[in-house]
Amino acid sequence: MQSVDSVLGGRKVLIAEDDPLLALDLEDLLHGFGCAVLGPVASVAMAFGVSSSQRPDLVLPDLELQDGRSVPVAQVLGTLGVPTALITGCEGSTDEPPLRSLLRLVKPCSTEALHALLLRLVPGTAASA
């Protein structure tokens, strides 16, 4: 799984994760798939800062960031058509409408689970259908 993926290669993925070790691990995995990583960022404010200068192709926010829940990130970028999935340590559903329909991966996750999730996010792939 740790080789450049023909579907994911070159895709810009915004990581919003406030745990530095988890963020670095996620970044390494994404680089292994051939993705270009935006961030990682630890807050909603930083996510908006990065995404305003470079539009991501995919967004992977943690539910809880340093300055609050990632609801605004999912809501704004989702409105712009950027596929988003939560990678969180919080199991179960959330009450916030922008998060209810998002794909979710519970941390810690395997390389294979992350890869499958990313393929589901990419529009036009068999996995996303």
* Residue range 66-119, pLDDT digits in tens: 999 999 999 999 899 999 999 988 765 567 777 788 899 988 889 999 999 999
CA distance 54 to 73: 14
Q: Please report the pLDDT score of residue 26 as a whole number.
A: 95
On the question of pLDDT at 2 being above 50, the answer is no
Pairs from 68-71 (Cβ < 8 Å, separation ≥ 24): 68/44, 69/44, 69/96, 70/16, 70/44, 70/99, 71/96, 71/98, 71/99
Name the band, by pLDDT with cuts 50, 70 and 90, for residue 127: low
On the question of pLDDT at 11 being above 90, the answer is yes
Question: Domains in the chain and their CATH numbers?
Answer: 12-121 (3.40.50.2300)
On the question of pLDDT at 120 being above 50, the answer is yes
Q: Which of 42, 71, 36, 73 has the alpha carbon at shortest distance from 57?
A: 36
Q: ∠62-103-26 over CA atoms, to 5°? A: 45
| Mean pLDDT for the stretch of residues 56-75 | 94
